[in-house]
Structure 1
Amino acid sequence: MTRRSPADLRTVLAGLDLMPGQLVRVREEVPARFGVSGHYAKWAGAPAPPPTGPGPAVMYERVTPSGAGAEARAVLMGLYGTRRRAAALLGTTPARLPHQLLDAVAAPVPPVRAREGREPARVVLPPDLTALPVPVLTDEDAGPYLTLGAVLATDPETGVRNLSIHRMCVQGPDLLTLWMVPGRDLEAAYRSALRAGCPLPVAIHLGLGPAVLLSSCCPTSLVPTGLDELAVAGALGGAPVELARCRTVDAEYVADAEYVLEGELLPDLAPENLRGTAATPEFLGYQGRAHPALPTVRITGITARDGAILQAVSGPGHEQSVLLGFGMEAAVLGRLREWDAPVKSVHCHTAGGGQLMVVLQWFHKRSAADDEVVRKASESVLEDFRMAKMVVSVDEDVDLESDEDLWWAMTTRMQADRDVVVLPDREGFPLDPTQSTAYSPALSADGRTAKVVFDCTVPHAQRDRFHRPRFTPAGSARPTRP
């Protein structure tokens, strides 16, 4: 078990307040519609459109909701806007966090029922989503979106609990549409409920501690079906996650969440956007396309902590990519360990949304045989991980967190005619607009892609020709003889 990390969002923010430049508080009133997203854009980071760059967490203390007469409430953006800050919230570094995630998956700590009187006090709010400061990001959007809403549900057939984040659009005061990426565990629970002829009770959380939120973003390749994400969070955070019972539905919720929206995932379908084709900006940097028919959630109750903070993300930007990337890194690292490949670190770059671009760092090659091991293992990552589109392999003297060092390695340690491997027409991810037959007739169907390995590792036989100088710190050099 790792050392205990802050359990709830408020403890995290109190710590950031003491660190210069890490948390900006905006005290003037801004509207939820375009105001939050427009102000935060300069700090969102790529793939948000320029000019932008990764910046601080930003607390908007007075955000006015869309509902008439609704009071201003707080919205938090950018808490996980840099890899260094995101890892530090869990008391670790970007290089160590994937290893700790693997340890947490191997030794999960199940959640527990919150002891009476210990859970944070909650106030009951009217079940009216228009009274909450849910941001609208662009004028094309289908409406206000819960961009960081973590849905907790239990499969009625298997009894397996699942916590995962999904795109949810506010369609009315008590109605959401919810898009489940096909194959996710929530979809399996939803289909179980449909077979039973019942709606699926859910608790939607807005504002969670870092261990819980990061665990909810982990892919199935890391946290397989049957393993509770809350148990992973307990191991990652160093203490069991505490749960309580919902008031209006037969479901549980994380006791220290800022907002909890209680509801039922219904069999009824509704269009995501009645006025156009756009949804909301996606994590790869392009405007999302609205779905013609999505499951709906009927909100039956809302509770909140006093002075609750609604946490959200900008569609494109560093934050979503960071949250997605760490789980993917751990999954890739675990797979390469199974193959006994000499991998040192994995970095899922934010330029690929934390999924499409994978940088592999390899230990020092022991023999010429390792040249082939690195090449084959790099290709196997592309074959085994559908989302991965590009692998860049580098040696252990390259700084994975430095884009300049990565480009330097690609420039001076790669020859395109021998070090670039293309895998044509593989299963891909259709949110990348190049992955379509309209872009490339060589693809057999939309959602397929050509994948590529850039092998920027030094051949073992030529390692002496690629020696980087090491500068001696002043005062530590041995004196020269006269």
Structure 2
Amino acid sequence: MSRRHPADLRAALAALDLMPGELVRVQEEVPARFGVSSRYARWAGAPAAPPTGPGPAVLFEQVTPSGGAAGDGGGGRGAAGAGGEPGASAVLMGLYGTRRRAAALLGATPAELAHRLLDAVAAPLPPVPAADPDRWARSDRKPDLTTLPVPVLTDEDAGPYLTLGAVLATDPATGVRNLSIHRMCVQGPDLLTIWMVPGRDLEQAHRNSLAAGRPLPVAIHLGLGPAVLLASCCPTSLVPTGTDELAVAGALAGAPVELLPCRTVDAEYIAHAEYVLEGELLPDTMPENPRGTAATPEFLGYQGTAHPALPTVRITGITARRGPILQAVSGPGHEQSVLLGFGMEAAVLAVLRRRGAPVRAVHCHTAGGGQLMVVLQWEAKRSAEDDALVREASQAVLEEFRMAKLVLSVDEDVDLESDQDLWWAMVTRWQADRDLLVLPDREGFPLDPTQSVAYSPALSADGRTAKAVFDCTVPYAQRRRFRRARFTDAPGSG
């Protein structure tokens, strides 16, 4: 069996404690409403509004609940949890706030993690029933979402949002599990709205369940181990329908994910989760924001627009480990982009491998939300034919991946993790009249505000975009003119 990595969130935090400067603990009491987000903003990283920059994971050890639901402006402290649980509890932000830290939690470098994901998809390790449930002892809590320290990010938000809630459900028609992260807004003590991307696995499982005349049982997890969370963020092009994300997570972690039965619904939950919200995905819908038009900030940095009608989840039970940690992300920030980017990188790498393209590494840049900007690093060119191959393969990425808007291709001597090096390649290895390839009016991603006819009349509809390849690779015939200067070590300096 491969090397094991942190199985749960607490093991991941223990690992960070051994890495100087990677974890900050905030001990003073802060409110979930604005308090967590405003304090974390300086470390959130772009596209959060400046001044900000990538920084440590931050564990807020005493967060008081917002105590309100969507649109009610609630700001109360919230009631104490069942069984004498204190009103304040822990919230974690920024665990995956840098690519280096996120990869290190799985024993890899950023460049290695895409390859690790591909290996895990090729050789999945299925989940198993928990051999020792007492190891993951947990208590029942009153099914009241307003007692949880769910952050509210801005005064425009529809309400408290579960921003890193991983939903586990089994499709009743196929028997296939799906684990995926969704935006969920607290609408009442036991009610959430949930945004599901149309056509994806959870929405299909919901449709199949309703067709059978019953709601879909779900387990919503808050606070999971790195391998499970990363697997849940992988695109369907990497982990297609029929593939169990938990089996991919097991292979990535080096040990099977352990499951236990829910207590109030016919579903399973991941044994090591900090919080588990048991419930049913109902046929009913309601406005995401009953009192306004805003949702919560999106990962591209702009305030989200509330949906007029979303499916609802009725919470039937809440369980938690002792001293639970609620994990959340700041919508506009490095962390969500890092999580989305690694899965996208593996998917792009798989496509290019199938084409036989000599790509060395892929970096889905956080400035594009881990989706819109793809940097491709190529092996050294072996002939003039490779000049055309690089451009054709770069274009293929834009055609294959709807979300990808820009592809930047660079040579093997460029550091993908250095923005300085990427800009250096752009200004010294790129000419706009010969190295820019534009693909007009392609299917895109409407959360980018430029992808609208109001911005560009050249687009045929909203949600379409012009895409571009920036070929910053050196032409094969001129490779000797572009050799980087290398310093010579002084005798005895090594």
Equivalent residues of 1:336, 1:377 under 8 A apart? yes
Q: Deviations over 1:153-211 (max 9, x none)?
A: 00000000000000000000000000001222101101111111110000000000000
Amino acid at match of 1:26: V
**How far did 1:477 drift?**
8.7
The yes-or-no answer on 1:361 pairing with 2:380 is no
Sort the Cα spacing of 1:226 and 1:25 in 2 relative to 1 into closer, same or farther, 3 A. same
Q: Deviations over 1:43-95 (max 9, x none)?
A: 00000000000000000000000233331010000000000000000011000
TM alignment of 1:65-464, pairs within 5 A: 65-67=65-67, 68-70=78-80, 71-464=87-480
Amino acid at match of 1:4: R
Which secondary structure state, in structure 2, belongs to the residue aligned with residue 418 of structure 1? helix
Distance across 1 between alignment mates of 2:230 and 2:371: 15
Distance across 1 between alignment mates of 2:133 and 2:312: 34
Distance across 1 between alignment mates of 2:21 and 2:461: 47
Alignment size in residue pairs: 478
Aligned match of 2:60: 60
Aligned match of 1:471: 487
- Give me the TM-score of the superposition, normalised by structure 2: 0.96
Aligned match of 2:24: 24
Distance across 1 between alignment mates of 2:238 and 2:122: 10
Which secondary structure state, in structure 2, belongs to the residue aligned with residue 279 of structure 1? strand
Aligned match of 1:35: 35
Equivalent residues of 2:195, 2:310 under 8 A apart? yes
Which secondary structure state, in structure 2, belongs to the residue aligned with residue 322 of structure 1? helix
**How far did 1:473 drift?**
2.2
Which secondary structure state, in structure 2, belongs to the residue aligned with residue 187 of structure 1? helix
Which secondary structure state, in structure 2, belongs to the residue aligned with residue 130 of structure 1? helix
Q: Deviations over 1:306-342 (max 9, x none)?
A: 0000000001000000000000000000000000001
Equivalent residues of 2:133, 2:260 under 8 A apart? no
Sort the Cα spacing of 1:190 and 1:385 in 2 relative to 1 into closer, same or farther, 3 A. same
Amino acid at match of 2:204: A
Which secondary structure state, in structure 2, belongs to the residue aligned with residue 399 of structure 1? coil
Equivalent residues of 1:33, 1:136 under 8 A apart? yes
Amino acid at match of 1:300: T
Distance across 2 between alignment mates of 1:117 and 1:381: 45
Equivalent residues of 1:2, 1:100 under 8 A apart? no
Which secondary structure state, in structure 2, belongs to the residue aligned with residue 301 of structure 1? strand
Structure 2 residue runs without a partner (length 5+): 68-77, 81-86
Q: Deviations over 1:365-398 (max 9, x none)?
A: 0000000000000000000000000000000000
Amino acid at match of 1:44: A
Equivalent residues of 2:66, 2:152 under 8 A apart? no
| RMSD, aligned α-carbons | 1.0
**How far did 1:115 drift?**
1.4
Distance across 1 between alignment mates of 2:235 and 2:133: 35
Aligned match of 2:73: none
Aligned match of 1:9: 9
**How far did 1:471 drift?**
1.2
Equivalent residues of 1:62, 1:72 under 8 A apart? yes
Q: Deviations over 1:248-298 (max 9, x none)?
A: 000000000000000000000010001110000000000000000000000
Distance across 2 between alignment mates of 1:360 and 1:415: 18
Sort the Cα spacing of 1:287 and 1:477 in 2 relative to 1 into closer, same or farther, 3 A. closer
Distance across 1 between alignment mates of 2:157 and 2:102: 28
Deviates more, 1:388-397 or 1:6-15: 6-15
Equivalent residues of 2:66, 2:151 under 8 A apart? no
Distance across 2 between alignment mates of 1:9 and 1:51: 29
- Give me the TM-score of the superposition, normalised by structure 1: 0.98
Distance across 2 between alignment mates of 1:241 and 1:39: 34
Sort the Cα spacing of 1:450 and 1:2 in 2 relative to 1 into closer, same or farther, 3 A. farther
Distance across 2 between alignment mates of 1:288 and 1:153: 26
Distance across 1 between alignment mates of 2:491 and 2:194: 62
Equivalent residues of 2:193, 2:286 under 8 A apart? yes
Distance across 1 between alignment mates of 2:118 and 2:2: 11
**How far did 1:118 drift?**
4.8
Which secondary structure state, in structure 1, belongs to the residue aligned with residue 441 of structure 2? strand
Sort the Cα spacing of 1:121 and 1:464 in 2 relative to 1 into closer, same or farther, 3 A. same
Which secondary structure state, in structure 2, belongs to the residue aligned with residue 149 of structure 1? strand
**How far did 1:18 drift?**
2.4
Which secondary structure state, in structure 2, belongs to the residue aligned with residue 221 of structure 1? coil
Distance across 2 between alignment mates of 1:116 and 1:124: 18
